[in-house]
Structure 1
């Protein structure tokens, strides 16, 4: 090993990329169906273990203090088990134990605060802490997903649930744009990004259905938050697009049509926020060359367009004509942009997509 190659090997090791020495045989990768069977075995073992514990701890749920204490103890035990886990069975067993501990902690807070907004903010803080400290990528992804749902529920108590998806999209963009900023935490950042991405898709599905996650939220759908939420969501989307454009302009020249497109997207977000969010996710995937983000961005865009179609309180003929006009205008806009950006495209070096 020479002095010139030492920094590169150290940086690869810090990034979590294993290097096999010449005298060490590379271990074969475990097939996906074997890992799936191990995960199922872990959850099955966890169900039997938790059922055995539950038979002797039925009185715990009647006391908020006992429920809180047992829940924290189970979360700590899951943390210790995850640090010592070297197989998928133990990892998923620890994940199940952690979930039960989180449910006990949440139940203790429910008995204290019932369904007020004070319940969801501590749950959001708990999920954020678990996403940061738990030594498991699966657990971190789940905690990021649960944090997005807790944020939605906390904001829904003030009729600001529409802004929750915008805030999740902002956090999602920050994580993926800074994916390689901290080499030692690349996989953790990816885990948080995937968890938030799933949470964003779930929130868009909730908006598509048109019903809140909990029935109690219907009583909070009126008030000041009803008209503040769309504007707050637009402001958050503007900040997200600004961060995305800042990343794009580092490698590509600026053009006036980009700012016109951003203004059009922000105007659309006041009426069809789900469509704009899908476009932003798709643009984020294109900017960082991530195929999965591109595909899920297209899926999010299709869900948003479908929601807009069903939200229109008009006849089927008017809906069909509206979609026809939007489609024709989109093709015309594409033709105009291709003509005006022909010189601009010549200066762009496209980035190779990655899976």
Structure 2
């Protein structure tokens, strides 16, 4: 999930800067060979078996510590959870092999669940459990040196924040916070290269993916499980209308499009910039009752900009999902819906033809 430019891009840049004067193909072959030596050192099935053994070992460790703790059930769960989580951090920092990595991850996840569950049972409060999840997630995000755990920490902390807001503040502010998390995710991806060169560079990408996952999860719940989503509010709370949420997400997407055009050297006030902005605005207007469409379009934009296959896959999957929801929410007959789909398809094909003719792609020189 990290920002990794291709080897060809790196070698080409070095040649342009005059740093590299040798044979680029020979250097590329040497680098690829050394990478293969590193990645193929341990067979894949050995790594899988080692990781499975670490998860089994962690289960026995959890069972043993659970028998040792003799305090009350809630307090014991909290103590046990903190011990397991702290031990996982220490073990993960001891080494980077498969067994230690998976052992620490599985043990840490169990410890986090015990701690949050114990806090919720002890206080009999959903607010306390959400606050505990938020605090623990933020701490582990910075102290646990593992990409998967950092992704899960960002994911759990963001969800806990939204749940805590749902239980304590008016429901409208929850959607405002969701837009704020979306802004943070876009900024992290837009500034990914610069931020990864800083002190907390390893935190940037997992956090950004965690925020995007939260965004899609909340919008998916709001779109397909409206009754359950509404039950999460306090009695009498009112959520933000879909059109207003779509407007907020559209503003974020337009800002990202403006930044991407600037980075690629395209005149934002020219024909290309106006075409891009007009297309996004039109998409937001047509799908104002389904905010997930413009949100997924924004993530798709970031995926193309960062050349990230995982981000592109997430965006495509969710834009299709939200597109289906938009189709079924249309208060039209089946014939009218079919004509709408046909018309939108023709518009998209015409727009593609216009872009290809008006802005021909420069042929890549190999």
Aligning the two structures, in what range does the TM-score lie when normalised by the shorter sequence?
0.7 to 0.9
Cα distance in structure 2, aligned partners of 1:351 and 1:242: 28
Residue 141 of structure 1 contacts residue 192 of structure 1 at CA under 8 Å; is this kept in 2? yes
Determine if the alignment matches structure 1 residue 223 to structure 2 residue 237.
Answer: yes
Determine if the alignment matches structure 1 residue 300 to structure 2 residue 322.
Answer: no
Cα distance in structure 2, aligned partners of 1:307 and 1:172: 24
Cα 1:268/1:314, change in 2 over 3 Å: closer
Within-5 A mapping of 1:261-340 = 261-268=279-286, 270-312=288-330, 314-338=332-356
Determine if the alignment matches structure 1 residue 128 to structure 2 residue 144.
Answer: no
Within-5 A mapping of 1:191-206 = 191-206=206-221
Aligned to 1:209: 224
Cα 1:326/1:293, change in 2 over 3 Å: same
Within-5 A mapping of 1:231-270 = 231-232=244-245, 234-251=247-264, 252-254=266-268, 255-268=273-286, 270=288
Aligned to 1:15: none
Within-5 A mapping of 1:344-355 = 345=359
Aligned to 2:189: 176
Cα distance in structure 2, aligned partners of 1:190 and 1:123: 21
Cα distance in structure 2, aligned partners of 1:267 and 1:124: 35
Cα 1:267/1:145, change in 2 over 3 Å: same
Cα 1:208/1:75, change in 2 over 3 Å: same
Q: CA deviation at 1:125?
A: 3.3
**Number of residues paired by the alignment?**
322
Aligned to 2:44: 32
Bigger Cα displacement from structure 2, 304-313 vs 89-98: 304-313
Cα 1:26/1:60, change in 2 over 3 Å: farther
Determine if the alignment matches structure 1 residue 104 to structure 2 residue 114.
Answer: yes
Secondary structure at the counterpart of residue 30 of structure 1: coil
Aligned to 1:83: 93
Cα distance in structure 2, aligned partners of 1:240 and 1:71: 40
Determine if the alignment matches structure 1 residue 159 to structure 2 residue 174.
Answer: no
Residue 128 of structure 1 contacts residue 144 of structure 1 at CA under 8 Å; is this kept in 2? yes
Aligned to 1:5: none
Structure 1 unaligned blocks of 5 or more? 1-7, 9-18
Q: CA deviation at 1:302?
A: 0.6
Cα distance in structure 2, aligned partners of 1:221 and 1:326: 40
Aligned to 2:6: none
Deviations 1:237-274 (A, max 9, x none): 41353144213212222232233234334435631111
Cα distance in structure 1, aligned partners of 2:223 and 2:56: 34
Residue of 36, 49, 53 corresponding to 2:61: 49
Cα distance in structure 2, aligned partners of 1:138 and 1:209: 28
Cα 1:235/1:201, change in 2 over 3 Å: closer
Cα distance in structure 2, aligned partners of 1:283 and 1:304: 16
Q: CA RMSD in A?
A: 3.5
Secondary structure at the counterpart of residue 345 of structure 2: helix
Residue 188 of structure 2 contacts residue 208 of structure 2 at CA under 8 Å; is this kept in 1? yes
Cα distance in structure 2, aligned partners of 1:151 and 1:233: 21
What is the TM-score of this pair, normalised by structure 1? 0.75
